[in-house]
Amino acid sequence: MGVLKKTLYGLLGLIVVLTLVSFLLPSPNRVERSTTIDAPIDKVFEQVNNLENWENWSPWIEQDSTIKTTFGEVTSGKGASNSWTSENSGDGSLEITTSEANQKIKTALDFGFMGRGDGEWTFSREGGSTKVSWAMQPLPAKNPIAKVIGAYFTTFVDIEPDLIKSFDKGLANMKTHCEKMNDGITEIEFMGTQYLAVRNEISWAEMADFYSTNFPKIMQKVMSSGKEMAGKPRSLFYTWDMENQRTDLAAAIPVMAGPDPGDFKMVNIGPGEAKHYSDHMTYDYYGSYDGSQAAHEALGQWLEKAGKTLKMPVVEEYLVDPASEPDTSKWHTRLIYSFEE
C-alpha cells in the first residue's frame, strides 16, 4: 500500500511540476497569410462563412481522404459548426463565433489533446478584387492534462512552417475556385443594350484600379465568348454617394446594341446643347474625366426643372481611348441620362 501511495504522490507531483512548467513555456506565434482574389467580395466571403463550402478549398480535405465531416444544425454565419474525424490528421471541431458580412469572420477550433486555435478572416475590396487574410493563434487545450501535453507539443514541435504551408495552399485553392466559379463578369441589359460587365460598390479612390483591372478582363471575355463589341466601353453608375465618396458602378462593354433611339431635339443645358430623345438625353463632353461633374449636374438639374424622373444607372460612354490620346481636351465622353415622365 505504501508503494502505491508513493507512486500516486509521485505521479501527482510530476503532473503539478509539468503543469507549472507549461505556464512558463512560450506561446506559439500567430500565423497570418493573405491573397488577392479576382472575384466579388460577397462571393469570397461565402466560401468561409458557409462551412459546407470549405470542401471547395480546404488544404486538409484535399490532402487527407480519411477526413469525415459532420455539420451542426447551423452551417452558415455565427453559430455554424462542424466536427471531423480522421485516421491521419486527428479529430477536431470548429465554430464560427463572429460573422460580419463581407468584413470579418472569427472561428474557435478545438483539436483535443493537440490544443485549440482562434481563427480570424478579414475581407476588403481592392478595386474589383478582394483581399482575404487568414490568421490563427494556436492555444493550449482546456483540459489540464491535455493542456500540459499540448503545451509541450507546440513548444518542441514547430508547427508554424506547416501552418504557413497549409494556409498558403488553402488560399491558393480558394483563389482558383472563386475565379473559376465566378470571374465577376455578368450579362446585364439597360435601355435595350446588352452588356458584359463587372459591377461592384467601391470608393471613388478605387475607380482607376477598378477600370484598369476589369476593362481588359471584360474585353478578353468578349473575344473568348465569340461575341463582338457593339460600342465603346462604358460605365454604368447606379449610385453616387457624395457624402461617403462611394459608388455602385459597372464597367461594361456593349455586345448587342439597343434599338434605334429615334428622333431627338437639341436643348441647352448650360454648359452646351444636349440631345433630347423620347426616354433619355445625351451630352457630349470633351476634357479630362475629373472635369465632367459640371455637365452631370447640368443634366440632372435640367431634368428636375422639366419635371422628369431620372432612371438609374447614369451611363458614361468613352469614345476616345486615353491610352492612345495624350491630349485630355480631345477625350470624348458621352453622358447618357434615362428618364421617366
108 plus 65 within the same structural domain: yes
336 plus 224 within the same structural domain: yes
224 plus 141 within the same structural domain: no
Of 101, 108, 64, which is closest to residue 83 (Cα–Cα)?
A: 108
Question: What span, in angstroms and rounded, lies between the C-alpha atoms of 239 and 249?
Answer: 7
Q: CA quadruple 237, 238, 241, 247: dihedral positive or negative? A: negative
Residue 125 lies in a domain: yes
284 plus 177 within the same structural domain: no
Q: Which of 181, 201, 227 is the last residue of a domain?
A: 181
Q: Which three cell numbers stand for residue 113?
A: 489533446
Of 92, 124, 123, which is closest to residue 106 (Cα–Cα)?
A: 123
Provide the CATH number for the domain around residue 153.
3.30.530.20
83 plus 128 within the same structural domain: yes
- The Cα-based distances of 219 to 18, 180, 183, 225 in angstroms read 64, 17, 13, 10
165 plus 201 within the same structural domain: no
Q: Which three cell numbers stand for residue 45?
A: 466571403
172 plus 200 within the same structural domain: no
Residue 108 lies in a domain: yes
Residue 5 lies in a domain: no
177 plus 191 within the same structural domain: no
Q: What string of pLDDT tens digits covers the 341 residues of the chain?
A: 555 555 555 555 555 555 554 454 455 678 999 999 878 788 899 999 999 999 999 999 988 999 999 999 999 999 999 999 999 888 999 999 999 999 999 999 998 767 789 999 999 987 667 899 999 998 875 655 555 555 555 554 556 788 899 999 999 999 988 877 766 787 888 999 999 999 989 999 999 999 999 999 899 888 877 888 999 999 999 999 999 999 999 999 999 888 898 999 999 999 999 999 999 999 999 999 989 999 999 999 999 999 999 999 999 999 999 989 999 999 999 999 999 98
Our count of domains for the chain comes to: 2
207 plus 170 within the same structural domain: no
> What's the maximum distance between 2 C-alpha atoms anywhere in the chain?
111
The answer to whether 241 touches 223, Cβ cutoff 8 Å, is no
Residue 111 lies in a domain: yes
pLDDT in tens, 178-209: 877 766 787 888 999 999 999 989 999 999 99
Domain that holds residue 205: 186-340
Residue 6 lies in a domain: no
